[in-house]
Structure 1
């Protein structure tokens, strides 16, 4: 397929299609057919009658949804068990502190600045992974610190930041109940996933 999109309408058209594709790619179902997706878009824009009835689509969509829910439930079960086993072993390691809530942390750099409060806005650099090392989010990789209120992030972060002096860099091991719990987050973080973050508290903004 030609990709010589040089006119303004062509560029915008491709960009819209790309956004749709990115959205589908971020949460795909098994067997997704890119050609069928493109055909559906083309038929809609050209006013062509759909070769697929609403009844057939609804039935097939329900079947795919059931398959995806079953797969997600299995992934969640595995993630929950693996997370508990990982945290139980990790808690026994030298240099790992465990709070009453179950949050675990290691002090990489011990800062000596002020402590944020729940109402503070802070600037941090962070690198977040699953327990298998898969990166799901990283301000370090983006090269741009993140600013946010301490009380507007996951519970594990809110707790840690209030005992982390400015200038500190800690590694957080966050149990699923202090992270995204049964909901998970997007396609990368399954429900009941324990998470690991390297967090550097750069500044207390307010």
Structure 2
């Protein structure tokens, strides 16, 4: 360890900087000037007069926000287009059923138990991927079934579960508007993502 960071105060101070840097990296923009960030941080901490007027800062914030929004809108449009094409091609495959909502499914194993209702709680195993095949969540990988109310999941799941006899295993192809839509789900699922799930309905609790 550098002698510069040998004291508790120095280590804590560095930790503060690391945390601020991580937050900034997660919410950054193209062209960000780290030296200007450091100067702004130093000037604010020391109570110095701002070298940039509040008016100019507000104009700059607005411009950067508009740029970010345009980038996000372009990415969303691209994701929507890719998802729509995937579903159009997928819906033409033999064995794939497309419902009026846009939800698609194919039966891997057909069970013969009761079907859940909207008010049921179920136990399932599932494996969730993007249309690229990349996994974003899997109870199968964790080795632990998941329990949840039918009404408490994404719309595509809520619709499908009520059609599935217990003991069934279906593959669901969920359009973005029946999944997480324009908001996505944190860092795991980007906005406008079409999702694929293998869902095994183990039991109605």
Q: TM-score, normalized by length of structure 2? A: 0.74
Q: Deviations over 1:15-67 (max 9, x none)?
A: 9955x6665555543345677767766776x5554666544443332222111
- In the TM superposition, what are the counterparts of 1:74-153 in structure 2 within 5 Å? 74-153=74-153
Change (3 A) 1:122 1:78: same
Displacement after TM superposition at 1:140 (Å): 3.6
Gaps of 5+ in 2: none
Q: What is aligned with 2:71?
A: 71
Preserved contact between residue 175 and residue 193 of structure 1 (Cα < 8 Å): yes
For structure 1, which segment, 80-89 or 134-143, has the greater mean C-alpha deviation from structure 2 after superposition? 134-143
Change (3 A) 1:178 1:41: same
How many pairs were matched up?
Answer: 203
Gaps of 5+ in 1: none
Preserved contact between residue 83 and residue 193 of structure 1 (Cα < 8 Å): yes
Distance across 1 between alignment mates of 2:106 and 2:7 = 52
Displacement after TM superposition at 1:80 (Å): 1.6
Q: TM-score, normalized by length of structure 1? A: 0.74
Q: Deviations over 1:141-175 (max 9, x none)?
A: 44444332211221111001111223332211012
Change (3 A) 1:53 1:171: farther
Q: Deviations over 1:71-113 (max 9, x none)?
A: 1111111122211111111011122122232211122233333
